A and B are shown apart, each in its own frame.
Chain A
Amino acid sequence: MTHNVIPASFKPESKTERRFEMCLDSGYKTAGMTESVDGWQLFGPLSTPTFNCTRSFMEVNETAPGCVIVIRNPATLPSPIERRILLPMVTKKTLFSWVLQCCRGLQALLLVMILFTVFLRVFPLEMQKRIINVAIQSRNLHALLTYCGLYIFAVVMAGVLKYVINVLQGYIGQKIVYEMRDRLYAHILTLPLSFFRRTPPGMVISSLTSELSGPGDFLGSALAAPTINVLTLVTFAGYMVYLNPLLAVLSFAIYPLEILIIPVLQNRYNRLNQERINITRTMSNAIGEAIAGMHEIHGNASYHIETEKLDRSSAMLFSLRHRMNKSKFLIKFVNNFFQSLGPFILFLVGGYLSIRGELDLGALVAFLSAYEKLYDPWKELMDYYQDLQDSRVRYYQVMSYFDSAPEFAIEPADGRAPYQFRGEIAITDLAFVIDGEVRLLDQISLAVKPGEQLAMVGLSGSGKSTLAMVMGQLYCYTQGHVLLDGMELKSLSKRDVSHNIGYVAQHPFIFDGTILDNVLYACKSLQHAGEGSERQLPTREEILQVIDEVGLTEDVLRMGLNMVLEEGRQAELAQKLVVVRQRFRQRWAGELARVVEFFDINQFLFYTDISENITFGSPTRPEYEPAKLAGNKLFREFLDEKDLTTLLFNLGVEIAVQTVSLLEDLQDDQFFFELSPIPRDEFDAYSAIVGKINQAGVGRLSKKETEAVLRLALRFSPAQHKMATLPVELQRRIIAARRDFAEKLRARDPGAFSFYHPDHYLYTHSVLENILFGHPRADQSRAVEEIQDRVVDLLRAEKVFDEVMEAGLGFAVGSMGDRLSGGQKQKIAIARVFLKKPTILILDEATASLDNRSQARIQELINSRWKGKATLVAVVHRLELVKDYDQIVVLKAGKIVEMGRYQELLEQKGIFYELTHGR
């Protein structure tokens, strides 16, 4: 039998050998030795025999934890799965290892170009010398032109090459960042839950987004920068020695001094900087604390105490910054001094030599030029050094933060297909200890046969959720055994577990996306398995059936009826719905008038927004879309003609002022914006406009702001938005203007709008509104429900029901599912797991947020559909539901205190009896 390997830590020892430690539990056994192929050999510690591995899987001898295993030549690792396990964790990689691993071809190209650039930097110097010596002094015009030409050529070519080098460096740097980010994120996702409990999300986010980009950019030039600069320096130095050795030696004498002094000063500055960061943090904390406790401060009138606190930090900061400034400018001064010292020496000694005739003028000029040009590479080297320090610190800080090993293997070690279990669970002497001492679970032993149902009950804090999470492989237990079909749970990979176990958490997480995305989440991740999984996604029928089983049909249907269809993609459904509309009118037309506001051209539509009341049609071209109407020239012309502009503008102002004052502090919650004409993401903009109106009056608004106000008025829907009324005058004028709008558009821009017609689908309205060809009156809610029932019957009769449900599944649930109620979220989580059809179901109070009827319904469902087919482990709060379970386990303070069937436990008159009788 093979076991999975838990990823190891990595210590690179040499180029030919890789050593790493295996984090093994002592319970691993081997099946035997196999031959070695391709230079693979495993060496254990001295006390255990060596063993080899084949291309396809690795077997591990019984070893002590922490033994050292050496693999030669891991580049021959055959499959991606193995490579993933045996390669070092990303957090152990050194900073420079990234440079060597990425884009090697490009880096080689870079080096070649650097060599050329260096040559091209020196070449102009020689040209300078010759221009003066040969061309000018010998009055050779031809030579002058040649040398000048060569000079400019070299300079331009150097520039071009530099451009290419910079672009390449940037590219390589970004590629490295790309890979770093991917690998680090993949690693972070596998870290144990305990890591995430103690880590603020902001830390992870900033590490991945901003902290890594610095080191990454640095790494792009990590090879190129020092190479080019060192080579340049060396070449220039060589050239200067060639011109005049004495001068060269003199000018270089300065640099060692600089190399000694400047880093000392720099270190001082760095230390002060670090201290500054700490003090700034202390200061922010002090201020934050004061604000949080402002009522205490006011109550005790302790203003002087608080100002003193800040003063201490401020004073320290002041002194620090002053010292930092002194250091910084001292460095600059030293640098500049040395820089000017050089030319001074050159002029002195070089001039003397020239006067004595030992040095020609051209050489002196070239020398000076070379000397000046030394400054840039030198500075770049210094900057590089700084960057290196900074990147090192940042990189290792980020990596050390995430340097934990995952608790469980992610993939099966040898690329085998995931295990298929029957569903037998056996727990012996399980203990889960955290922080060394706290025993969350102790001496847990139980057994569940395949297809049985186990209930776990107990008071809050008794450990039932913890036990459920241990069984779902979300926590790693400390002692004892959890065996799934006889296999130790700790040794199974996540892939094995997810194939067989469906876990519903107490507070399930719903991802941003559609209902369909969320419900298929588990199935989609199973699909990704690799070999051995032929699972296909569930069909629409299967999905709708499960939706019905968990009790979401009504909700999804309602969402479907409220969906606005997309013109291109759902045209077929739209056509069918027009047919439904006609049937509906045939049967129910008479009774509808009280309950539905029809799209009648002679009536004002209170349930529709003003822009549609005016246009009475839907736009076919983007420039007429509701969001853009306020800026559309033709439309504005029309508004002015019909004297509507001022009325609309005033209405818009009214709405803006009222809504902004109403919803000012509530921007965090999408819920409050459902009835608001201002969408959440535009709130700040309108808030600013209202501020401006309050201060300067309406006359001072800019063109864009006026447009925004008009847009708001156009979005106003009198029956839905309560914060303003529609002036009767405006209402009258709009009805009068309607037909004129149609005419104007037919004349000036035909085909821009498709005007409402009983035979056309209205893409600006929801499915239900299309079927009714009107809007249900919200204040007749009882009657509206009846109408909806009739609509649903008709949909079923016309066989369009499933399509509408499918549209409903496309409902966007919002970030973290915040457009759904708690009960809906739980039902979706349950549906997600049901669609996976796992052999073992673990439900942790999965129905707690549902009303009693739904809870009973789901329990019913589990009994009828899953009993005998899947093993169920449920943490249950409401004890009436556990009557039919095969086994009930009562937990208290992490231990099992009672176990048995419902009737037995009641007769015992122990803790279970007390719990059922509500004590």
Chain B
Amino acid sequence: MSSPTEDDATCSSSKRDERCELEENLDVLRRITVFAEVPLPRLKLYAYLCKRTCFEPGEFIFRQGTADDRGYIILRGTAQVVREYQDHSIFLNELHEGEFFGGVALLSDIKRLFSVKAVTRVECLTLDRESFRKLLVQFPEVGVKVLDVMIKRITFLEEQLMQKHAHDCVYH
């Protein structure tokens, strides 16, 4: 039978290849840039608070214009990002295994700018805003690191926008 290991922050199980969900989540999170600088024990807590969701082919992971409160990481499958208009929709991007999207909802109550639709059967890892905020309050240094990366992403988008449509952009 197995015995618990103390120093390593991973869990063991009766068979070497069977890992607990916590460890699997942790692995996935480690590969995301947003969480890259988070120390391992703290990242474990993020892994602990994540939930798993499955979507059938054709199901919307979230829709444009709705309020949403979580960030997503694709574990398995492919999804498409579309921008919807009244009578048609434009395909923007395809998302694959290991990609992190929808993170802005972790920061504030926003409406989605686009829809994401599952092409194949998709399994996602999700983290909701309340958990993110609770962790932010408990470990502000960690939260700040995550925020740093996310804000850089957002600024990058804004930069691209400014380059193309500077005169259209106004702050409120």
Contacts and interface: CB of A to CB of B under 8 A. Distances in A.
Interface of A: 646-647, 650, 653-654, 657-658, 661-662, 665-666, 669, 671-672, 675, 693-694, 698, 722-725, 727-729, 778-782, 821, 851-853, 918
Interface string B24-66: 0100000000000000010011011101111100010000000
A671 B134 contact: yes
A725 B20 contact: yes
B86 interface: no
Nearest to B22: A722
Contacts of A728: 14-15, 18
Given A675-B49, A723-B22, A729-B14, A646 B1 contact: yes
Given A723-B20, A724-B20, A782-B55, A654 B130 contact: no
Given A722-B20, A782-B59, A727 B14 contact: yes
Interface stretch (B5-13, B87-95, B144-152, B154-162): B5-13
8 contacts: A658-B20, A694-B6, A724-B20, A727-B15, A779-B53, A779-B54, A782-B59, A821-B130
B6 A657 contact: yes
Contacts of B6: 657, 694
Contacts of A669: 134, 138
A207 B22 CA distance: 47
Given A654-B2, A675-B49, A724-B20, 14 more contacts: A658-B22, A662-B44, A665-B138, A722-B20, A722-B47, A723-B48, A727-B15, A728-B18, A779-B51, A780-B54, A782-B59, A851-B67, A851-B109, A852-B109
A650 B49 contact: no
A733 to B, nearest CB: 12
A724 B53 contact: no
A665 B42 CA distance: 11
Contacts of A665: 138
Nearest to B44: A662
B164 interface: no
B141 interface: no
A646 B123 CA distance: 35
Given A647-B1, A725-B19, A778 B51 contact: yes
Nearest to A850: B109
A662 B172 CA distance: 42
B20 A650 contact: no
Contacts of A778: 51-52
A639 to B, nearest CB: 15
Contacts of A653: 4
A893 B147 CA distance: 34
Report which residue of B13, B41, B131 has the largest number of chain A beta carbons within 10 angstroms of its beta carbon: B13
A911 B13 CA distance: 66
In order of increasing CB-CB distance, the 4 nearest A-B pairs are A722-B21, A727-B14, A722-B22, A657-B4
Contacts of B13: 654, 724-725, 727
Main secondary structure of the interface of A (DSSP, over half): helix
Contacts, number: 87
Nearest to B18: A725
Nearest to A668: B138
B98 to A, nearest CB: 18
Nearest to B51: A778
Contacts of B14: 727-729
Contacts of B45: 662, 666, 672
A693 to B, nearest CB: 7
Contacts of A781: 53
Contact of A672 (B47, B109, B134): B134
A593 to B, nearest CB: 14
A842 to B, nearest CB: 26
Contacts of B123: 779
A841 to B, nearest CB: 26
Contacts of B20: 658, 722-725
B1 A666 contact: no
Contacts of A658: 4, 11, 20, 22
Nearest to A659: B48
B48 A675 contact: yes
A853 B13 CA distance: 47
A723 B11 CA distance: 7
A779 B52 contact: yes
Interface in B113-172: 123, 130-131, 134, 138, 171-172
B115 to A, nearest CB: 14
B141 to A, nearest CB: 13
B151 to A, nearest CB: 21
Nearest to A723: B22
Contacts of B19: 725
B67 A853 contact: yes
A722 B25 contact: yes
Nearest to A783: B56
B55 A650 contact: no
Contacts of B48: 662, 672, 675, 722-723
A853 B15 CA distance: 50
A691 to B, nearest CB: 11
A722 B15 CA distance: 16
Nearest to B50: A722
B134 A654 contact: no
Nearest to A853: B67
Nearest to B55: A782
A201 to B, nearest CB: 21
A852 B109 CA distance: 9
A239 B12 CA distance: 86
A664 to B, nearest CB: 9
B158 to A, nearest CB: 18
Given A669-B134, A724-B13, A650 B54 contact: no
Report which residue of A658, A693, A853 has the largest number of chain B beta carbons within 10 angstroms of its beta carbon: A658
A661 B53 CA distance: 26
Nearest to B171: A918
A918 B172 CA distance: 6
Contacts of B12: 654
Report which residue of A647, A666, A671, A918 has the largest number of chain B beta carbons within 10 angstroms of its beta carbon: A671
Contacts of A671: 130-131, 134
A672 B132 CA distance: 11
A342 to B, nearest CB: 69
A675 B109 CA distance: 24
A650 B21 contact: no
Nearest to A666: B138
Contacts of B49: 672, 675
A86 to B, nearest CB: 50
Contacts of A780: 53-54
